[in-house]
Amino acid sequence: MIPQRLWVGMATLWFFWPIILAVQIGSSPRRTYLAVGVAGVLLVLPMRMYLSIFAPGVFCPDDMISLSPYDLAPYAVAYARGWAESTKRRGADPIILEGYGMAGGITPAAPPFSSEVLQKYRIQVEPIALCVVNSYLQGHARGYNTASVAEIKRRYGAGVIAAAKREWETQQQRFTDMANSGRADAERDVRTGRFAVLVHGDAVEGESDYRSMLRDRFGIELRRISAENLQFEDDRRVHASGYNEVSSNEFRQRLGEDAQIAVMWVTSGQSYESLLRKWEFDRARRAETASR
C-alpha cells in the first residue's frame, strides 16, 4: 500500500507543471501563456479520470469519493457539521451512528457492531441513505461517527472498538475462505467434466422446469445447497458465489454466451419464467425469419 501511495503522490506532482510554467514567464510571456493553455487543455481529461478513479482507491478507499475540489469541499463541510452535531449529543443515550447502504450496514469511521453489542452498549445505527450517496452524506456520516466512536471509547473503553474490529476481520476472513473453497470446488468439478451452478435459500417457482432446461440444453446441473452443508446462511451464499464465479466463466468459454446468461439468471434471483419466455420468443422469431 505504501508504494502505491508514493506512486500516486509522485504522479500527482506531475499535474502541477502548468503552474510552474505560469510562474516562469521569462522573456516571452505570450509563448508561456500559450504553453500553459495547451497544457491545461491536455490535462483536463486525465486529471478528471485520475481524481475520480485512481487516486480515491489509494487515499480514501473506504469512501471512494472523487478527489476533485467539487467533491472534497462539500465532504469537508459535511464532516465538520457531522462531528459538531455528534459532539453536542455527548453523554446522551443512545449513542448514534450514521449508516448507509443496505439496512445502514456501512458506518464510516466505525466498525460494524453485532446486534448484541449494539444492545449491550446502547448504540443505535440510524440509516441516512440507501446505496446511493454523495460526498456530502459520506462526509457527514464519517464526521458524526468519528465523534460517536470517541464517545464509545470514553464510556466503555477502547476495547469495545478493538473487539468489534477483530470480530469483523474474523468474519471477513471466514468469507474469504468460503469463497476460495467454492472456487476450488468449481475447478475440481470442471476438471472432471461436471458443470453445475449453485443456489442457496428456498426454492422458487418455476425452478423444476428451469432445472430441466439447464440439464437438457447445456448439460448444467442446478444444485441447491441445503442447510446441512454449511453452518451459516452467509457462508452458503459466499461459497455459492465463489463457485459460480469460476463456473460461469467456464460456461461462457465452453458452452457459449447463452449458457452464461442462463446461469447468471439463476444467481441474479430473477424470474425463471421470464427468461424461458424470452428464449421461446427469440426461437419463434428466428424460425419466422428463416421461413421467409
Could you state, in order of their start, the residue ranges of all structural domains in the chain?
Answer: 2-58, 69-157, 171-291
> To the nearest whole percent, how much of the chain has pLDDT over 70?
78
Q: pLDDT per residue over 57-103, tens digit each?
A: 777 777 778 777 788 889 999 999 999 999 999 999 999 999 998 77
Distances in whole angstroms, Cα of residue 15 to Cα of each of 20, 58, 153, 247, 263:
10, 17, 41, 44, 46
Closest CA to 82 of 126, 129, 148, 130: 148
Interval 248-260: pLDDT, tens: 888 888 888 777 7
Rounded to whole angstroms, the Cα distance separating 270 from 264 reads: 9
Is 108's pLDDT higher than 70? yes
- Rounded to whole angstroms, how far apart are CA atoms 47 and 270? 40
Mean pLDDT of 208-217: 85
- Tell which residue, 42, 20, 21, has the closest CA to residue 30: 21
Q: Of 48 and 70, which is predicted with more confidence?
A: 70
Distance, in Å, from the CA atom of 76 to the CA atom of 67, rounded to the nearest integer, reads 11
Q: If you write DSSP's letter for every residue of the chain in order, what string do you get?
A: -HHHHHHHHHHHHHTTHHHHHHH--TT-HHHHHHHHHHHHHHHHHHHHHIIIIIHHHHH-TTT----SHHHHHHHHHHHHHHHHHHHHTTT-SSEEEEEBSGGG-B-TTSPPPPHHHHHHTTEEEEE--SS---HHHHHHHHHHHHHHHHHHHHHH-THHHHHHHHHHHHHHHHHHHHHHHHHHHHHHHHHTT-EEEEE-SS--TTHHHHHHHIIIII-EEEEEPPTTT-SSHHHHHHHHHHHHHHHHHHHHHHH-HHHHHHHHHHHHT--HHHHHHHHHHHHHHHHHHHH-
> Band of the pLDDT at 155, cuts 50, 70, 90?
very high
The model's confidence at residue 228, banded by pLDDT at 50, 70 and 90, is very low
Categorize the per-residue pLDDT at 177 as very low, low, confident or very high, splitting at 50, 70 and 90. very high
Instruction: Name the residue among 269, 103, 147, 276 with its Cα closest to residue 200.
Output: 269
Dihedral (C-alpha) 261, 265, 266, 268: value to the nearest 10 degrees?
Answer: 130
Distance CA 58, CA 35 (A): 31
Q: pTM for the complete prediction?
A: 0.66
Map grid coordinates 456530502 to a residue.
Answer: 136
Q: What is the pLDDT of residue 85?
A: 96
Give the pLDDT of residue 71. 84
* Residues ≥6 apart with Cβ < 8 Å to 94: 122, 123, 124
Greater model confidence, 16 or 231? 16
